Structure 1
Amino acid sequence: MTGTFAVVVAHPDDDALTWAGTVAKHAQEDGFRFVLVQATDGEAGHIRDDFPATRETLGGIRRGECAAAWHAVGRPPDRLEWLGLPDGRLAEMPRIELVERIAAVLAAEAPDVVATFGPDGVTGHPDHIAVGAAADAAFTRLRADGRPGFRRLLHHVLPQTEFDHWQQRRRAQDLPPFDPTSLYHWRGVPDDQIGLTVDCRAVLDRVMAGIQEHRSQLHVLAGPPADVAQLGPIVSHEWATVAWPPQPPGGMLQDVFDRC
């Protein structure tokens, strides 16, 4: 038996860039259950000039892109919960409301592993940081209640060495480097904080196929000139810090359920 894996994110496409490889690797296992919580529909996302969307229709389009992406990965969620909260304003919400909405789903599913954003939000996005903090609080409360599940809490991150290599590749291609002090720019965390590294190269084609389905936001995901191929090295592995339990002995975890 593998277990239940719950991913809690802020926007459609956050999930595609974080945990699609893990889901693809476990897709055919009978004991695997995948729960996805999307806090918003992504209705406040950027609309490029040549894309057929309006502010009123973008949220629905992005919901459809999310479904298409998981079909491309080969494993739609067993439960996909859309909380319908305001995109771009999660940090302004009463924190208890966001915690309660996430906790309601997690309490019903009792996942073995919960994955979300850490304090850096990967790109510093306030929505990422808010949903990650709320998911942490929900996990901590439910675990303290002695419920089944809740064995591990993960924060998706980008190791500093990988971030540095990406910066070098961008400079070599005459692309602007990211500024990790700026909002919405990628950033790394010190390598010695990494507790999980999942090798996703065997399913990379499926991960990339899922990313390609987020057509409305490809220019945002990859940055100018929207060359999605540059994301390949970044999603060929998945990295996380282990927020709970304290880092166990025995070295780097290689799967979200490893020694769980």
Structure 2
Amino acid sequence: MNEHNRRNKGRSLLAVFAHPDDESLTMGGTLARYSRQGVDLSLICATRGEWGPISDPSLATRENLGQVRERELRAACELLGVRWLQFLDCFDGQVMHSDWSEIEERLVRYIRLIKPQVIVTFGPDGIYGHPDHIAIGQLTATAFNSAGNEACFPEHLEEGLKPHQAEKLYYTQIPEGLVSQMVEAVRAEHSQARIWDMDPGSFGVPEDTITTIIDVSKHAPTKLKALRCHRTQLDDNNIFTVINEATARIFLAEEYFRLASPQRNFETVETDLFEGLDDTA
């Protein structure tokens, strides 16, 4: 057993996102890396992405897109090493209008069941301001605190679910300019390349808000394969359809996070989401 695997044995991470493909786009390389190092990985997805695009009508219809995207997500999870997947059954585009108390209860229940040390979700920026991303990030941050409070949802105790306080909460981040640079590089070979119908400049936060950078250069090909599991979302001009492996290794080599809790001052960036935790965990 190598040093990384020894240190990470018994460790667990829970990712909470809004749609199938969020996991691969924001932290696919990190998930693949930690899976190879023996970290137990779980994922909660708020919706099945029923109102997402359909890249090819032979792949899905509006009526069955949610089912198809669930299958795509399960395939991506298998590639990334995510062992446990749960949906919250929110409707795509409506997370902010769902019953927040019900969603919080379910998130707290799953946190107490899984007992993760680290939880990762969207930050207030929602990567590019998507309302579902922002909502599930807020809900997860609330559940992060509630799960460790025995006064919150005390009925869980009757089911044998004890309070559990995860040690760290992270927000996924993308530095300003990175997506624009990637699109520009890919367009040198594919002039019509685009990142869905979005402005590449809408992605990103100031670099000084990033606390943690994970080297996933060895796992960039796996991240790209996981993204490509989401076939309904990638048309012929999507950047992740046409990007070559060499360019992917450049722009997908690192993934970025902000430590939301516990808050502390950083003199240097972290390089591990489990940094500072007991090695015997």
Change in CA separation of 1:177 and 1:80 when aligned onto 2, cut-off 3 Å: closer
Give 1:144 shift.
4.8
SS of residue paired to 2:113? helix
Gaps of 5+ in 2: 1-6, 151-161
Cα separation, 2, equivalents of 1:52 and 1:176: 21
Cα separation, 2, equivalents of 1:218 and 1:48: 6
Give 1:212 shift.
1.2
Cα separation, 1, equivalents of 2:240 and 2:115: 42
Cα separation, 2, equivalents of 1:194 and 1:160: 11
The equivalent of 1:141 in structure 2 is: 146
Point out the more displaced range, 126-135 or 144-153: 144-153
| Aligned counterparts, 1:75-94, within 5 A | 75=81, 77-94=82-99
| TM value normalised by structure 2 | 0.80
Change in CA separation of 1:81 and 1:41 when aligned onto 2, cut-off 3 Å: same
SS of residue paired to 1:68? helix
1:60 is the counterpart of 2:76:
no
Contact 1:17 1:235 in 2 (8 A): no
Point out the more displaced range, 234-243 or 191-200: 234-243
Please list the CA deviations of residues 9-57 of structure 1 after superposition, one character each: whole Å capped at 9, or x if unmatched.
0111100112221221122344x21110011111111123544311121
For residue 219 of structure 2, the aligned residue among 198, 203, 219 is: 203
Change in CA separation of 1:47 and 1:184 when aligned onto 2, cut-off 3 Å: farther
Q: How many percent identity over aligned positions?
A: 29
Contact 1:123 1:184 in 2 (8 A): no
For residue 48 of structure 1, the aligned residue among 55, 61, 72 is: 55
Cα separation, 2, equivalents of 1:177 and 1:219: 10
Gaps of 5+ in 1: none
Please list the CA deviations of residues 74-129 of structure 1 after superposition, one character each: whole Å capped at 9, or x if unmatched.
x1x22211111111111111322222222221121121000000111102111111
Give the aligned length.
Answer: 255
Contact 1:18 1:235 in 2 (8 A): no
Larger radius of gyration: 2
For residue 33 of structure 1, the aligned residue among 40, 54, 74 is: 40
The equivalent of 1:253 in structure 2 is: 270
Change in CA separation of 1:103 and 1:235 when aligned onto 2, cut-off 3 Å: farther
For residue 162 of structure 1, the aligned residue among 167, 178, 203 is: 178
Contact 2:170 2:259 in 1 (8 A): yes
Give 1:147 shift.
4.2
The equivalent of 1:237 in structure 2 is: 254
For residue 16 of structure 1, the aligned residue among 13, 24, 36 is: 24
Give the letter for the 2:271 counterpart.
Q
Give 1:5 shift.
0.4
Give 1:207 shift.
1.1
| TM value normalised by structure 1 | 0.85
Cα separation, 1, equivalents of 2:124 and 2:114: 25
SS of residue paired to 1:216? helix
1:193 is the counterpart of 2:198:
no
SS of residue paired to 1:84? strand
Change in CA separation of 1:37 and 1:184 when aligned onto 2, cut-off 3 Å: farther
Cα separation, 2, equivalents of 1:183 and 1:166: 12
Change in CA separation of 1:249 and 1:122 when aligned onto 2, cut-off 3 Å: closer
Cα separation, 1, equivalents of 2:248 and 2:103: 30
